[in-house]
């Protein structure tokens, strides 16, 4: 059965960052089932080649771009090439991201530049390049992969929290600005799921090992998350929260923010937050 997004956008032209593995590839493969033309980016040439083969085996068309999404000039070159070859864009997925951990003040400023460039600025670059084309078409959909970390703001994750909060803020702004042009927007805020997001970490080894442990033990993998995202986006949902824990934390933070902050501080002071995170079934 075709995705609703495929029916809504018969041109079937998507650009997905971080499409060489994990969630990005899972999203691309599900679109490929409906015959989409998909531009995928990644920093790894081998990962791109593997994704391209799998996309085309499922009936899609893949255009590959190897570059660092934090480089706005390289991003523009790749994006312009995709537009020229595909003739436009119906779906942008700001997916590329990296995870890290460590205490604020101990995480180096050079590392802040690095993670901000990938997690935050790449979403800004992609949206900046896509919006004029979508406005001209009077159609399109932008999906940005943020995280429940962007509103939960757990300790030892300031660098990740800040960049994902920025993505949520960007998308909330674009929702208002782009709705009059019939352009849909969605921001995805999952909790932990199995992925390779920690593979390039630069932070504190204990903090990053805890993060990797939780990711490895997560209930959901990228295929389930990708299917959920595309289904909900097809229903034009803005906040895509998954699984249940993400929706629960979102509502607790919204309804009783002061209590939420106090509980976090209390658990962190007692060093109970590590065990809390490890016990959670995401």
The pLDDT confidence band at residue 263, using thresholds 50, 70 and 90, is: confident
Its CATH architecture, for the domain 4-279, is 3-Layer(aba) Sandwich (3.40)
Spatial CB neighbours of 220, under 8 Å, sequence gap ≥ 6 = 190, 193, 194, 242, 243, 282
Copy the structure tokens of residue 174.
């674009």
pLDDT per residue as tens digits for the range 88-99: 999 999 999 999
The helix/strand/coil state of 253 is helix
Cα–Cα distance measured from residue 164 to residue 261, given in angstroms and rounded to the nearest whole number: 18
**Does position 248 have pLDDT exceeding 90, yes or no?**
yes
The mean pLDDT of 4-17, rounded to a whole number, is 98
**Does position 38 have pLDDT exceeding 60, yes or no?**
yes
């Amino acid at each position: 059965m075709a995705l609703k997004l495929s029916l809504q956008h018969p041109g079937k032209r998507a650009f997905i960052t971080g499409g060489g593995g994990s969630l990005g590839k899972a999203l691309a493969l599900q679109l490929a089932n409906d015959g989409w033309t998909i531009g995928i980016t990644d920093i790894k040439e081998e990962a791109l080649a593997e994704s391209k083969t799998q996309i085309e085996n499922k009936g899609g068309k893949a255009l590959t771009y190897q570059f660092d999404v934090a480089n706005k000039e390289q991003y523009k070159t790749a994006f312009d090439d995709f537009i020229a070859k595909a003739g436009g864009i119906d779906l942008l997925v700001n997916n590329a991201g990296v995870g890290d951990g460590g205490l604020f003040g101990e995480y180096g400023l050079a590392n802040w530049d690095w993670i901000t460039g990938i997690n935050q600025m790449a979403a800004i670059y992609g949206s900046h390049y896509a919006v004029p084309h979508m406005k001209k078409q009077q159609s399109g959909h932008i999906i940005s992969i943020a995280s429940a970390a962007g509103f939960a703001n757990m300790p030892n994750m300031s660098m990740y929290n800040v960049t994902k909060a920025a993505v949520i803020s960007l998308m909330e702004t674009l929702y208002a600005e782009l709705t009059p042009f019939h352009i849909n927007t969605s921001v995805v805020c999952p909790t932990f799921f199995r992925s390779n997001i920690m593979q390039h970490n630069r932070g504190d080894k204990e903090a990053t090992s805890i993060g990797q442990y939780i990711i490895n033990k997560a209930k959901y993998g990228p295929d389930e998350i990708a299917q959920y995202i595309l289904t909900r986006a097809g229903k034009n949902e803005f906040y895509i929260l998954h699984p249940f824990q993400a929706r629960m934390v979102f509502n607790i933070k919204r309804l009783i923010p002061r209590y939420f902050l106090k509980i976090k501080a209390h658990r962190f002071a007692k060093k109970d937050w590590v065990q809390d995170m490890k016990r959670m079934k995401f």
